[in-house]
Structures are given as structure tokens and as C-alpha cells.
Amino acid sequence: MTDKERKMEEIRANFTQGSDGYDDRIRKIIPRYDEMLEALMSCIPSPEGRRLRAIDIGCGTGAVSELLLRSHPDIDLTCLDMTESMLDRARKRLKAHDNVRFVLADIYDFELDGPYDLVISSLALHHVISDRDKKAIYRKIFDALSPGGWFLNADIVLGSSDDIQEVYMTKWKEFMYQSFTRDETDHVRVPRYHREDSPARLVDHLRWLGEVGFGTVDVIWKYYNFAVYGGRK
């Protein structure tokens, strides 16, 4: 098993264990989680006279997809996740909708079967390990979008320098101390973040999006090390 495969297995095992109670816990880990998703939703396009075709990458328990279905009930939606138990929860949550397809796959390998009007993701792509793979996935997303289509990502990012990153970590820990003990935050949650997550600097994400071809690139929302950003093809 390669290092990458080992890391992905660890991530999958943690989400498998943690799918129970995920929706409550995520709000204790991610500051302003609901506000961040609301910002993500604020830029969703509405193509005139036809159904929106979209994919939610790393849909988890289906929080973003549920919001999408609320604002665009007739959307043609694909929910993709690599962890079976998370995808199962999304399936249950969205069972009333027959316009949703569920795909168990790793975004590294999945051939994005476009064209999509919207590729959306929340708190998933920071698991992509290398900068090279992040950029390759952005290219894949760009290729799968129809002209005028949007890619929108809500995710954890890095500051542009060590001192800014230190501020972000201090603020993030202060937020987690409200729900977890100092011991759990400092010795379990933060080390897990360093071990499993591979965030990149927001300025690099924006540059990569421009380099793969996105015309309009912007940051829609930001709170310290959490951001909603993306681009239009």
C-alpha cells in the first residue's frame, strides 16, 4: 500500500466511524458552518428554461445537496462520496427525491461525466493530498463544466504566511474549546487535522483555478481559515 492509499484508508475509516452524529459534530468543529453553506448557495446559477445539472463532490451526509434540492427542486443531481456509511446517510436524508443519483467513488479516479452546470463541494477537497492532484482535479472539474458553469468550493485553507496561519489556528482552537475539552482539542482534533488534512493556501487555489482556465475566479466568503471560493468557466 502506498502512503497515499494508507492515508485515504485512514480518512475513510474515520468517516465510517464518525458518520453517526456527524451533522451535530461538524457544527462544533467548523465555525459558522451554516453561514458558510449559505454563502456557497448564494452563487448557484439558475439556467433559464432547463434543469440545472450538478454534482456534489464529497457529499457526506448530504447537507449541501439538501440545500440545493430546496432551492432547485427539479435539479438533476449527483451525490458522490468515497465513504459508504456517509453516502448511506445522504441516501436516507434525500430519499424523497427521485432526481438524485448516488455514486460511491473516489474523486481521484472518478471520470466526471459532464457537462455539468455546477460542480460543488464542501469540506472534502482538502483531503486531496498533493498540490499536483488538487490542480489535476480542478482541471477535471473545468473540463466537465458547460460554458458558463460554476465550480464552488467551501473548504479549509491555509494562510499565506506562517504568522497569519498561527492566527487562524489560534482562532480555530478558541472556537473548538467551546465544545471540546482543551485536551481533546489540542491532543486529538488538532493532531488529526495535521495528520489527515492537506489544505493549501487560498491564494494558490485561486491561481490554480485561473491556470486551468476559469475566467472568473473569486472568494465569496471567508472566516479565518475557512473559505468559499470558485470560478466560472
Whichever of 132 and 163 has its CB closer to ligand SAM, that residue is 132
* Interaction residues for ligand SAM, span 187-226 (CB under 6 A): none
* Interaction residues for ligand SAM, span 33-62 (CB under 6 A): 58-60
Whichever of 52 and 156 has its CB closer to ligand SAM, that residue is 156
Backbone angles phi, psi at 34, to 5 degrees: -70, -40
How near is the Cβ of 26 to ligand SAM at its closest, in Å? 5
Distances (CA, A) of 100 to 38, 65, 135, 136: 21, 9, 28, 26
Between CA 150 and CA 148 the distance in angstroms is 7
Whichever of 164 and 220 has its CB closer to ligand SAM, that residue is 220
The contact pattern for ligand SAM, residues 62-81, with x = CB under 6 A and - = no contact, is -xx---------------xx
Strand ranges for the chain from DSSP E: 53-57, 76-81, 100-104, 116-122, 145-156, 216-223, 226-232
Helical axes 22-29 vs 3-18, angle rounded to 10°: 110
* Interaction residues for ligand SAM, span 97-136 (CB under 6 A): 106-108, 122-124, 127
* Residues forming the site for ligand SAM (CB under 6 A): 11, 15, 26, 58-60, 63-64, 80-83, 86, 106-108, 122-124, 127
